[in-house]
Structure formats: C-alpha cells, structure tokens
A and B are shown apart, each in its own frame.
Chain A
C-alpha cells in the first residue's frame, strides 16, 4: 500500500506539469490582460506597466518564470488586490470550505438515507415522491432558488439574515460568534444541499438497486438473516463501492467555492473572488487557483483509490 501511494504521488508530478502548462496556455492565449482592460491608461503607460509585470516577455519565458515561482512555493501576486495570491486565497478559501463541508456532510447523509430507502421499496409511493422532489430540486435554477429562499425566510418571515457571514457591527466571540455564523449559513447550505442531493440520491438509489439484485443478497436472505442485516451489511456495502470514487471527486469541490450561491448570499468565499478576478483579468490569481483545484483533484482520486482498496478486497494495489 505504501509503495502504491508513493508511486501514485510520483506519477502525479508529470500530470501536474501538464496541468500547469494547460492552465498557463488557456489564460496566456486569451486575448487581452489586466492592463488592456483599463481604458484610462495611455498607450505609453500601458507599455510601461506591461514591462513592469513581465507581460511583454515571450510565452515560454513567462511560463518558466511562473513555474519557477511555483516551485519556490510562491503562488504569485494579485494584480487587482496588490497582495500575494496565497494571502488573498487564504482569506476566502476557508469560509468556502466551511460552507462546502457542512453541505457535503448533509447532502451525503440525506442522499444515502433517502436513496437506500427508495431502492428498498422501488416504485412505492415513497420512491415516487422522492423521484418527483429530486427532479424538482435538480431543475430549479440556482439563482432563482437562492432568491426564493431569501424572500421567504429572510424577508417575509425574518427568521434568518439575508446574506453575509456575520451580522454587521457584531463583535461577538466564542459561542456567540459560532452561532452568528451558523445562522448566516443556513440559507446558503440549504441551497447547496438542495442542488446536490438530487443527483446523488438518484445515484445511490441506482447503485443500491444493483446491489439488491446481486445473488449474494439472495443467499443472505436464504440464510435467514434479518432484513436489516441483509440490506445494511450485504447490499449497502456493495452499493457503496462505486460511490467511493464519487466521494473522491468532491475534494476539489470543497475548496472550489460555489460561485452563484456565494455571490447572491454575499458569502465571503473563494467563488466570490473567482468571478471578480475573472472580470478584472487578474490572471495570477486565476492560474494559481485553478492549479490548486487540479492538485486537489489528483489527491482526491488517489484517496478514492486507497479507500476503494480498503473497502473492496478484490482490488489489490500494486
């Protein structure tokens, strides 16, 4: 197992170089840059600034420059915010992570429970209601759902704050602070759960239906085991195997930020600055952020493979 993980990590190095080249080229070859976007600059001043930021150098020199920066642990400098990218991301990344983690835990729990129940009694009224709700939740546009929740719970009923992460002017610390953040989280988390739980529930249901049709489930029943044991121990364990790969892909999602949801609820997350930096063509931030997600995708896949091997004796890591 240790040699396998080590080999996979070494194998990830060329993958990362490939990803970095691709990311660089996408942003470098896009017409226009941070300087071009500012129409107030004289052509002379623009040329001066381009020379200052190294934007006038040939592509390969810029790529190698960025790469050597990265290898020294330097993610670059944000042109728009005039602070290091790592500082900028550090400010926003964790609030996104908090939001994503809480939603992830909730919608996985919800989807597993509902998906399994629906699969145990397929085409029952419960299954039909679930299917209807799932498709309803999946077909709602995000922005509409956000605005609807704000209107109902924040404006009409006044139970919850409209947006932000803490109340304006609040100096609360300790439990009061945690409670304040939790109150602000309810609506964005609800939105994210509703958006994600639908697809995952369908996936769990399908996987569980496949597992329940396995011969070994019939054997388990023939042994006279209680139905609960048959479902949870024999069927669910087999149904979880394909879901592990899916869980691995959630890792980058935890840090990617939810652009629309964060924007509407004014949540100070990384999805928020993602869209702002894109508008300003602040490429150093976007490049580093995208590369970070590439790293997390690779790590997430590796984790999923290791978890699969732990859960499924048929998989041997070599």
Chain B
C-alpha cells in the first residue's frame, strides 16, 4: 500500500479536569489514503471529535490537554510541530467543517470577508482576486445570487446556506483532506441530503480525502469507503463499509447496526444497547464494553482486547474473537 495521506499512530488524548484525568482517546490507530472517505462512528463522547481536533491542532494547549502517540501527514508527525509550523497546514492541506453552521461563522463579519480570509492567508491573492474567487466558490457550492450572499451576514442566512458557506471556506484552498464533524446533524432532513450530495460532488471533483465524523449509520453507508467504529476512546472495529454492514465482528458494532430502524419492519421497540458509555474519567482496565456486552465472558472483565485482523480488510478488538480462534 502506498504512503497514506494521514496516519493516526497510537494517538492518546487526556484532559486534565477538576474531577481527574479524562482519557478521551486511547491508542487510536488508523490511516486515511489520498482521496479516500473514512467515516468515524460512535456514540456521543466516544472521542470522535477529539480525534479530528487533534489532527487540526485545535485542542487546548499543554497543561489542560496531553497528547501521546503520533499523527502523521505525509509521514511527518504533526504533534511534534511547533504551532507556527502547524498553522499554515490548517485550511490549506487539512480543512474542517463543523457541526453547528449557525455559530461556526463570525456574526460580525460578512460571509464574503470570512470566505476571503483563507485565500488571502494561504494563496496570497490580492483582495480583488480573492473576492472574485469567493464568488466563484459560492457558485460552486450551489448558492444562487453569490454576490448578494457574499455581502450578507451569517444571521441573514439559513442553516443549510451557512453549511454551504462553510464548505466553500473549507474547499477554498483545495485541501487534500476535509474533516466533516457531524456536518448535517444540525440541519433539516431534506437539507441534510442536499449537503451530503454536495459534499460527495465536491470530493469527486477535487479528489480530496474525507474524514467524516458521524453517529448516523445511514450517512456512513452512503458516503464512506471505510469505517472506523469507536467506543469509549478506542477503536473497536475498522473495515470497509461492506464488511462492517454485512458481517460486523464486534458486539458493539452489531448492537449499533441492530438499533437502526429498518423501513418495512414494524417493531414494538427498536433494539437498544443496554447500559451507558463509561465516563472517560473512570475507564476500566478491561474491555470497556464488557458491562454492556450480551456475549461477555469472565475474561472480558480482566483483559483489554487489541485490534486483530478478522479478514484482509477488517479488524476488530474483542476477546471473544481470539478465544474462538484459539478454540
């Protein structure tokens, strides 16, 4: 396999809080190839967003937040870079779209000004050229009357429009990776489909890689090539979309898939995974899913499983898999 674009190598993120150390992300390793779409799925608080923010260098500085492992872009460890060397990569090589378009844009600056900023910073365009480019970008993300929209302020636009603007900002410098952190969660269902469609078209047009963070498995099936399932700060399963949806190996992934509503099948209740995600302040030394796992065995309460290949394209971290193999 060729040199991956992005590589997470045993990434750990710890936050110092008043209640103690919160282990938000532990030993996360996965790679993103150029042009590939990778979806990170998991419940709220499982470390999805923190993983993405670590790639952008947007986590709080040292005493409040400690990072371990490596995050590599083109084989260069980003975490070892001084802030001044990391900054020019943001927005130019790696861009990010956030969950809440309403608050992600600055209320006191016009849409056009905010769209011009990365162009002026990274591509050193003249203000006039940047303005022209901003209009073209707005057109590219499907905004009619781009001149009028560029002159307006965020509060005058709808959530869907603002997310289009955010996408325009993100693709303005032709990044090689776009991180989309729950890009449609805050939007209406009809708008969601439009934004996802736009995201896919933009990706196809530019050939950029996509790191999609979501808890919506429908979006994953539609958008991703590969899936990374996270639970309690760890990767529990990773594989191609087909692998994950057809034969999920980890009980957590199986639970996630079982809790999806399936059209046509009428159930009195949707299946749910019992129990709650453990607090990142008090993670157990054994498998974090053991207490909620329907197949848990005594060994699950003593050991921490590691990722192991279950097929050439799929890996899962579950003790049940290894004991089955051993038997």
Contacts and interface: CB of A to CB of B under 8 A. Distances in A.
Contacts of A223: 90-91, 95, 117-118, 121, 169
Interface of A: 214-216, 218-227, 229, 233-234, 237-238, 241, 311-314
A238 B106 contact: yes
A216 B106 contact: yes
Interface stretch (B97-105, B193-201, B300-308): B97-105
A224 B92 contact: yes
A225 B121 contact: yes
Nearest to A217: B106
B106 A314 contact: no
B96 interface: yes
A220 B120 CA distance: 13
B312 to A, nearest CB: 36
Given A215-B103, A314-B155, A226 B87 contact: yes
Contacts of B153: 313-314
B215 interface: no
Contact of B91 (A216, A224, A238): A224
A312 B169 contact: no
B98 A215 contact: yes
Contacts of B129: none
B89 interface: yes
Contacts of B91: 222-225
Given A215-B98, A218-B98, A313-B155, A226 B107 contact: no
B192 to A, nearest CB: 20
Contact of B58 (A218, A237, A311): A218
Contacts of A214: 103, 106
Contacts of B92: 224
A219 B56 contact: no
Nearest to A214: B103
Contacts of A237: 106, 108-109
A314 B117 contact: no
6 contacts: A215-B104, A216-B105, A220-B106, A225-B91, A311-B108, A312-B108
Interface string B299-321: 00000000000000000000000
Contact of A313 (B83, B108, B169): B108
Contacts of B108: 237-238, 241, 311-313
Given A214-B103, A216-B104, A226-B87, A221 B109 contact: no
Given A215-B103, A225-B118, 10 more contacts: A214-B106, A219-B98, A221-B58, A222-B58, A223-B91, A223-B95, A224-B88, A238-B106, A241-B108, A313-B110
B122 interface: yes
A216 B121 contact: no
B103 to A, nearest CB: 4
A313 B105 CA distance: 13
B107 A221 contact: no
Contacts of B166: 219
Contacts of B110: 313
B176 to A, nearest CB: 14
Nearest to B179: A222
A266 to B, nearest CB: 46
Nearest to B93: A224
A229 B122 CA distance: 14
Which 8 A-B pairs give the minimum distances between C-beta atoms? A224-B91, A224-B90, A215-B103, A216-B106, A313-B153, A223-B91, A222-B96, A223-B118
B100 A221 contact: no
Contacts of B106: 214, 216, 219-220, 234, 237-238
Contacts of B96: 222
Nearest to A215: B103
A222 B100 CA distance: 14
